Every structure is written in structure tokens, then in C-alpha cells.
Amino acid sequence: MALIQCPYCGKQISDKAQVCPKCGHYVSYGSQTPVQPNSKNNSKTIIAIIAVLLVVLIALIAGGLLYYNHVKKQRAQEDDERLHQEQLLKQKSDEEAAKLEAAQRERARQDSIAAAQAREDSIKVAHNNTIDLYIAKMREFARTDEGEGGEYFLYDITGNGVPELWMESTYGYGGMYVYTYSGGNLKLIYTGSGGHASYHRGKGYVVENMAHMGYQKILKLTYHHGKMKEKVLFESEEEMDEYREPSEPYFSSNSLSNESPVRNMFK
């Protein structure tokens, strides 16, 4: 018995074999010319191969889908984590910004309180200085011949919240002296007719009514740009039998020895 080669799988088989025991294909008896394989078996083989290929393809597709879904899920998780971290950072940043803003507001409040206290202290010092200077000026004026028996009243004609000291002399023809507190000192801002004049309170102004021996002159006194201004409201050109009276009320004057109105003018 001789050996021949299977034309299908290449294995060595007996030359008398009709079917290759290795691959199952039919071979011709005693010849190397292959016998036409059975078409039924070929169809089964092809179907098996196709089935295997389909299984492999399905497995590849399924594997691809699984991998895609895995990657997609992983990326989604990474996106969620990144978004979460961004939200945490934003929340932390917002909290820090809120704390900073609260601290700034509190500092501004404290600064405002300190500034208000400083202003209040400064005003108190200025008020006390004003009182001391007014009283010193009144006492000084009272010791002079001109100030003997003199009177005064307080009125804020400058509009700065600090009443001016209006001192009136009754000596001789008299005179009115108006002092204001400025820069820690007293400043003389007006000299009027005094003894032959009456003074009347207006809203933001003072009326000086000077009348003597048939002559009358009425002035409106105002304060602008650091200076007293006079406006003539009436002036007689000849001797008068009866004087005019301003419509504004009289100021109530105090004796120079009465210091209470000055001491209480800021209360």
C-alpha cells in the first residue's frame, strides 16, 4: 500500500482510501486526481464558515458597542466630575467673594462710624471753643466804656449752623458788632449803627432799622461769599414825623452779663 497526498488538506493518506480521514473529502481510488466533493457537504461547510464569520462580526460589533458605551459612560463620568469640581470651585469662590464683600461692608461701616465720631468730636470741640470765645469777647466788651450796659443776641446769618454773636453798644451813638467763629478764632464781619437802630429777624437775613431825629434808613443784611451785604430797603430824604416799622419781629436781646444763652446755644 502506497501513500498519497490529500489534495484538500495535504495530509498523507492511503492510496486506497476514498475519503480523507483528516478532512473528510472524497478522493479517487488509486489516483491523485481528486474526486469531486459532495455538494451537500460543501454547502454545510460554507454555511458553517458564514455562521462563524457572522458570529465573529456580531461579536466584534457587540464588543465595539460595549467599548463605545464604556468610553461614553467614562467620559460622561469625567464630565460630571469636572462639572462638580467647577461647581465646588465656583461655590468656594462665591463664598470667598461674599466673605470679602461682607468684610468690606463691615470695614466701611466701622470707618463710617469712626468718621462720624471724629466729626462729632470735632464739632464738640468747635462748639466749646465758640462758647469760650464768645463769652470771653462779651466780658471783654462789657469792661469797656462802649460796652457798658450793652446787650447781645445770637443769630446764624452765615448759615453754617453756628449762630453769630451780635453785640450792641448803647454808649454815645452806639454801635453793632457781629462776630463769627472761623478757623478756631473770632472774626468781626459787620459793624452797624447800634444804639439808634433796632434789629429784626428774617429768614436768612437781618433787618437793621436805624431811626434818629426824623431820619430813617432800613437795611437788609445778608451774608454771601464770606462777606456781609447791605441792601437799602428804605431811606428818608427829609425829616419824618412818623417812622416806618419793618414787618419782621424784633430780636430779643440779652444783657452782656447773662451768659446762659451762649452756654446753651448748641443744646
Q: What is the DSSP string of 44-106?
A: HHHHHHHHHHHHHHHHHHHHHHHHHHHHHHHHHHHHHHHHHHHHHHHHHHHHHHHHHHHHHHH
Residue 255 in any domain: the answer is yes
Residue 231 in any domain: the answer is yes
Residue 80 in any domain: the answer is no
Contacts of 207 (CB under 8 A, 6+ apart): 199, 200, 218, 219, 220, 221, 233, 246, 248
What pLDDT is stored for residue 23 in this prediction?
87
Q: How confident is the model at residue 238 (pLDDT cuts 50, 70, 90)?
A: confident
Residue 241 in any domain: the answer is yes
Residue 44 in any domain: the answer is no
What pLDDT is stored for residue 216 in this prediction?
92
Same domain, 138 and 248: yes
User: Residues 234-243, buried b or exposed e (16+ Cβ, 10 A)?
Assistant: eeeeeeeeeb
Q: Which of 29-33, 52-56, 84-88, 164-168 has the lowest mean pLDDT?
A: 29-33
Q: Where are the beta strands (DSSP E) in the chain?
A: 3-5, 12-14, 151-155, 164-169, 175-182, 185-192, 197-201, 206-212, 215-224, 227-235, 254-255
Same domain, 31 and 136: no
**More confident call, 241 vs 225:** 225
Residue 169 pairs in a beta bridge with 175
Q: What is the DSSP letter of 26?
A: B
What pLDDT is stored for residue 200 in this prediction?
96
Distance CA(137)–CA(173), nearest Å, equals 21
Residue 14 pairs in a beta bridge with 3
Same domain, 141 and 30: no
Residue 19 in any domain: the answer is yes
For the segment 53-79, what is each residue's pLDDT rounded down to a tens digit? 999 999 999 999 999 999 999 999 999
Residue 89 in any domain: the answer is no
pTM of the model: 0.59
Distance CA(246)–CA(205), nearest Å, equals 13
Same domain, 254 and 141: yes
Residue 90 in any domain: the answer is no
What range defines the domain where residue 222 resides? 128-263
Count of domains for the chain: 2
Q: How confident is the model at residue 95 (pLDDT cuts 50, 70, 90)?
A: very high
Same domain, 23 and 133: no
What pLDDT is stored for residue 138 in this prediction?
95
Q: Which of 29-43, 63-77, 87-101, 204-218 has the lowest mean pLDDT?
A: 29-43
Q: What percent of the chain has pLDDT over 70?
A: 93
Structural contact between residues 193 and 207, judged by C-beta atoms closer than 8 angstroms:
no
Same domain, 137 and 253: yes
Same domain, 30 and 135: no
Q: Which three cell numbers stand for residue 153?
A: 443776641
**More confident call, 146 vs 207:** 207
Same domain, 133 and 30: no
Structural contact between residues 169 and 194, judged by C-beta atoms closer than 8 angstroms:
yes
Q: What is the DSSP letter of 157?
A: -
Q: Is the dihedral of CA 243, 248, 250, 256 positive or negative?
A: negative
What pLDDT is stored for residue 155 in this prediction?
97
CA distances from 144 to 138, 141, 177, 213, 235 (A): 10, 6, 14, 27, 32
Residue linked to cell 501513500: 3
